[in-house]
Amino acid sequence: MKKIAIVFGGSSCEHEVSITSATSMIKAINKKKYNIDLIYIAKNGVWYKYTKDIETIKETQIEKYAKDLEKIDNIVKQLQIYDIIFPILHGKYGEDGSIQGLFEMIGKKYVGSGVLASSLCMDKIYTKIIIDKAKIKQAKYLYLKYEKNKYIYIDDEFNEKNINLKTLNTLIINKLNYPVFIKPSRSGSSVGISKVNNIDELSKALEIAKEVDNKILIEEAISGKEVECAILEDNKIIASTLGEILTDDHFYSYYEKYESNKENTLIPARVDKKQMKKVQQLAIKAFKAVDAKDLARIDFFITDKNEIYLNEINTIPGFTEISMYPKLFSYDKIEYSKLIDRLIK
């Protein structure tokens, strides 16, 4: 029987999402097939092992189980006992190559992409640079940094120049046009993202984004269907049926992803067979271009003119019962527990 560690929590702003993903996975995983330990990383970076039967975790607030958490003093020694490590960690220090580097250094097998793909796909700006090289269409963008209380504009040749709000507004109008999305470059689950329609909204949106990351992406808004494709690498790379995000002219927020009771997704997406196949092909191409492994969720826009734009690549997509990744493969007759089996295999 394989000994598996599910690692979750973490120090990022997506800590709670990770817990929700992990508790959903715990319900679905075949406990007769694997000897499973739960490894929880608190927000302060301290590692714990859950000491009771994993079936007893039903809440998403892990702090309620504090008495059942045993602090791990020697993390490397603890990780060495496992055959496979399954990280369900979203955001910085979990999805960005940091923990993957730890697993690599101690020689442990783990589910998901390696250091390069993880760090690359966590950074929306650098993902765009690779996707541009792959000749996959994507939204136009501007790249900012916030350093020493100043915004710095980085141009296409990586030249840097201090920029004020008025000049940035002119740049947006000339290069992108409103509306635009302001996004932290290295964050997920729609944390820190704002849709901006004019200069009056721009300043506040930048303030929100820089609280999450000092690297900021300003991206043109693409009008059209938002569709998502799940990828599973199991001997060959499999692209799922597409799902569609149902939004009312805004964007798929953190609240809608994880807290709303409203049904915001549609499977299959409202696209024809030709569009479906093209998006699937582009998803596989993008997966290969960033050197991803095992799993990913790749998001696209399809305009009214049938133009396809890649939005982003998630190397550890949401894994909750209502998350698009497991739902898409469930539609394709790979149920949640079997999906976990195939990823571990």
Give yes or no for residue 306 having a pLDDT over 70.
yes
Residue 314 lies in a domain: yes
**Structure tokens, 193:** 């993202």
* 322 pLDDT tier (thresholds 50, 70, 90): confident
Residue 338 lies in a domain: yes
Residue 117 lies in a domain: no
Give yes or no for residue 251 having a pLDDT over 90.
no
- Mean pLDDT along residues 59-85: 85
Give yes or no for residue 256 having a pLDDT over 80.
no
Residue 50 belongs to domain spanning: 2-110
* 189 pLDDT tier (thresholds 50, 70, 90): low
Asked if residue 281 and residue 174 are part of one domain, the reply reads no
Asked if residue 264 and residue 236 are part of one domain, the reply reads yes
Q: What is the pLDDT of residue 257?
A: 47
Give yes or no for residue 116 having a pLDDT over 70.
yes
CATH, residue 29: 3.40.50.20
Asked if residue 174 and residue 62 are part of one domain, the reply reads no
Residue 115 lies in a domain: no
- Average pLDDT of the chain, as a whole number: 91
Q: What is the pLDDT of residue 105?
A: 97
Angle, helix 115-122 to helix 124-133, in steps of 10 degrees: 110
The CA distances from residue 54 to 30, 58, 92, 234, in Å, are 12, 9, 26, 27
Give yes or no for residue 101 having a pLDDT over 70.
yes
Asked if residue 227 and residue 206 are part of one domain, the reply reads no
Q: What is the pLDDT of residue 188?
A: 63
**Structure tokens, 201:** 């909204």
Picking from 182, 202, 220, the residue at the C-terminal end of a domain is: 220
Residue 322 lies in a domain: yes
- Cβ 189 vs Cβ 91: under 8 Å: yes
pLDDT per residue as tens digits for the range 219-241:
999 999 999 999 999 989 999 99
Residue 76 lies in a domain: yes
Question: What domain count does the chain have?
Answer: 3
- Mean pLDDT along residues 206-214: 93
Q: Which of 163, 145, 149 is nearest to 216 (CA)?
A: 145
Rounded-to-integer distance, Cα 244 and Cα 169, Å: 32
Asked if residue 252 and residue 232 are part of one domain, the reply reads yes
- Cβ 8 vs Cβ 40: under 8 Å: yes
Q: What is the pLDDT of residue 292?
A: 98
Asked if residue 31 and residue 87 are part of one domain, the reply reads yes
- Mean pLDDT along residues 47-54: 87
Asked if residue 215 and residue 260 are part of one domain, the reply reads no
Give yes or no for residue 67 having a pLDDT over 90.
no
Strands 2-9 vs 84-88: parallel, antiparallel or unpaired = parallel
CATH, residue 278: 3.30.470.20
Measured on CA atoms in the order 128, 219, 242, 23, is the torsion positive or negative? positive
Asked if residue 26 and residue 102 are part of one domain, the reply reads yes
Asked if residue 271 and residue 132 are part of one domain, the reply reads yes
Q: What percent of the chain has pLDDT over 90?
A: 77
* 61 pLDDT tier (thresholds 50, 70, 90): low
For the chain, the three-class secondary structure string (H helix, E strand, C coil) is: CEEEEEEEECCCCCHHHHHHHHHHHHHHCCCCCEEEEEEEECCCCCEEEECCCHHHCCCCCHHHHHHHEEECCCHHHHHCCCCEEEEECCCCCCCCCHHHHHHHHCCCEECCCCHHHHHHHHCHHHHHHHHHHCCCCECCEEEEEEECCEEEEECCCCCEEEECHHHHHHHHHHHCCCCEEEEECCCCCCCCCEEECCHHHHHHHHHHHHCCCCEEEEEECCCCEEEEEEEEEECEEEECCCEEECCCCCCCCHHHHHCCCCCCEECCCCCCHHHHHHHHHHHHHHHHHCCCCCEEEEEEEECCCCCEEEEEEECCCCCCCCCHHHHHHHHCCCCHHHHHHHHHC
* 258 pLDDT tier (thresholds 50, 70, 90): very low
Residue the block writes with tokens 């715990």: 26
**Structure tokens, 116:** 């390069």
Asked if residue 324 and residue 200 are part of one domain, the reply reads no
Picking from 220, 244, 274, the residue at the C-terminal end of a domain is: 220
- Cβ 279 vs Cβ 270: under 8 Å: no
Asked if residue 214 and residue 228 are part of one domain, the reply reads no
Q: What percent of the chain has pLDDT over 70?
A: 91
Comparing 32-41, 135-144, 242-251, 316-325, the range with the smallest average pLDDT is: 242-251
Asked if residue 127 and residue 257 are part of one domain, the reply reads yes
Angle, helix 115-122 to helix 98-105, in steps of 10 degrees: 170
The CA distances from residue 279 to 15, 251, 290, 327, in Å, are 31, 20, 17, 18
Give yes or no for residue 63 having a pLDDT over 80.
no
Residue 209 lies in a domain: yes
CATH, residue 208: 3.30.1490.20
- Cβ 292 vs Cβ 315: under 8 Å: yes
Picking from 185, 220, 255, the residue at the C-terminal end of a domain is: 220
For the sheet with 2-9, list strands across it. Answer: 69-71, 47-50, 34-41, 2-9, 84-88, 109-110
Residue 116 lies in a domain: no
